[in-house]
Amino acid sequence: MVTATETTAALARPDDPEAGRVWDLLAAVTDPEIPVLTIADLGVLRGVEADGDEWVVTITPTYSGCPAMHAIEDDIRGRLAESGIAARVETVYDPPWTTDWLSAAGRAKLRAYGIAPPAEASSSKRSLLGLDPVVACPQCDSRNTAKLSEFGSTACKALYLCRSCQQPFDYFKCL
Amino acid sequence: MSERDLFEYALRLGDDALTLGHRLSEWCSNGPYLEEDIALTNIALDHIGRARMLLAYAAKVEGAGRDEDQLAYLRDCREFRNLLICELPRGDFGDTIVRHFLIDAFHVPFFGALARSDDPTLAGIAAKAVKESRYHLRHSSGWLVRLGDGTGESHARVGAALSRVWGYSHELFATDELETRLADAGIAVDREALRAPWNQTVNEVLAAAGLERPGDDWRIEGGRRGDHTEHLGYLLAELQFLQRAYPGLQW
């Protein structure tokens, strides 16, 4: 069984200088739905490898039906084309994406953007038992919050209400 | 294990996801209120995403030069392999919730088992799907309890929906020679083994909802053979209209 730590290790920027350069260009591509997050922050960018004259960029979707994947693929090809780099994008499903791959920087950026980051590890007992986590309001930090809907503005988020500041907010679900 | 069997299996699962996702997408802008409209269509996206992955894999295994779009848009009713429960009209909100609850309660153990398949592509798709299905089940079981344990009107209507849909749920567990061969090869899931976990979930939630489990006095099957209800033709007429009217159109 592959643990989250092992799979996260595979996300590191490649050591090879050429591959590292391509990685750095791609690491700046942002999620069209959450423009403060890069595909590297999200863990959607899985790998960069040379294949002859062409680069193969591997990505994985957050959710099966994530409609942002097409835009992300186009942005990846566009970004590399600007630098004269030929690339093809391949999508992998295994290992399945998990919110555990969200970087610490990514979590902080989410909160600053007004989206509560995943409250706990996807393997935590509460998460496995399907219990609702305690979610802190990204606006006022209150823990007095309530879930309004299992699904928010996108499939990866739920809709919450802060009972302290009375503001609704999106919560990035543990997956 | 023959490639033909594997193609057929991926096609079955892909067609289940496509028809179910399409029916849910019909709620777009018709949901009972904004948040629920968004929830139903987000779930529809999960199913349509699975359909794309599974049909793309079926096309690759087939190796006949077709892609997932051609499989989705250019086959007629008799060539579709989905379970009948997936193609039933969306009905009212109660029908939709009942259908999804019965299927979500099945999908959680089904995709959990398929994630251990010896076929790495199917296992990868399933490992992703099972996480989503746990959320789907929370959504549909939460609603079933609210409707069943709600007002006299909601209780009566969701109870009627349950008796309309129930007879179609048996096909979830139907196994034929093809799936038995693939299960023996470590590829497919033994559906019979999922009855116990499904029964447990269904009985618990129905009890919490104050709904009586319907009797098993009727059952309808045939989707895997291409014998469909009259509803599938209308579904495909809408789903496939653009490619039929403007062959090869892209945007």
The predicted structure's pLDDT at residue A175: 79
The predicted structure's pLDDT at residue A133: 80
By Cβ distance, the residue of A67, A93, A175 closest to B53 is A93
Structure tokens at B128: 């992703």
Say whether B49 and A63 touch across the interface (CB within 8 A).
yes
Pairing of strands A54-59, A45-51: antiparallel
Upstream peptide bond of A95 is cis (omega within 30 degrees of 0) = yes
The predicted structure's pLDDT at residue A4: 41
The predicted structure's pLDDT at residue A3: 42
Closest-CA distance, A64 to chain B, in angstroms, reads 5
Phi-psi region of A35 (alpha: psi -120 to 50; beta: other; left: phi over 0): alpha
Using DSSP's 3-state secondary structure scheme, residue A114 falls into coil
Q: Check: pTM over 0.80? Answer yes or no.
A: yes
Average pLDDT value over all residues in chain A: 85
Residues A91/B74, Cβ–Cβ less than 8 Å: no
Residues B16/B83, Cβ–Cβ less than 8 Å: yes
* Residue B205, number of CB atoms within 10 A of its CB: 19
Q: What is the mean pLDDT of residues A17-35?
A: 90
As beta bridge partners, residue B119 has none
Say whether A65 and B39 touch across the interface (CB within 8 A).
no
This model of the complex carries an ipTM of 0.76
DSSP B109-149: HHHHHHTT-SSHHHHHHHHHHHHHHHHHHHHHHHHHHHHHT
pLDDT in single tens digits along all 251 residues of chain B: 799 999 999 999 999 999 999 999 999 999 999 989 999 999 999 999 999 999 999 999 999 999 999 999 999 999 999 999 999 999 999 999 999 999 999 999 999 999 999 999 999 999 999 999 999 999 999 999 999 999 999 999 999 999 999 999 999 999 999 999 999 999 999 999 999 999 999 999 999 999 999 999 999 999 999 999 999 999 999 999 999 999 988 87
Rounded Cα gap, residues A22 and A94, in angstroms: 23
Say whether B38 and A149 touch across the interface (CB within 8 A).
yes
Over 70: is that where the pLDDT of A122 sits?
Answer: no
As beta bridge partners, residue A158 has A171
The predicted structure's pLDDT at residue A128: 55
Closest-CA distance, B50 to chain A, in angstroms, reads 6
Q: Side chain identity at B28, as an amino acid letter?
A: C
Chain centroid offset of residue B158 CA? 19
As beta bridge partners, residue A115 has A170
Taking CA atoms, A47 is separated from A3, A22, B53, B122, B156, in Å, by: 18, 10, 20, 21, 54
The torsion angles phi and psi of B169, rounded to 5 degrees, stand at -75, -20
Percent of chain A topping pLDDT 90: 46
The predicted structure's pLDDT at residue A171: 93
Which of B128, B133, B201 should we substitute to test contact with A (largest number of A Cβ atoms within 10 Å)?
Answer: B128
Q: How is the beta sheet containing A45-51 ordered, strand by strand?
A: A45-51, A54-59, A87-91
Taking CA atoms, A82 is separated from A47, A87, B38, in Å, by: 20, 11, 36
The predicted structure's pLDDT at residue A103: 85
Residues A139/A169, Cβ–Cβ less than 8 Å: yes
- Which residues of chain A from 46 to 65 reach within 8 Å of chain B, CB to CB? 61, 63-65
User: H-type helices in A55-113, by residue range?
Assistant: 68-82, 104-113
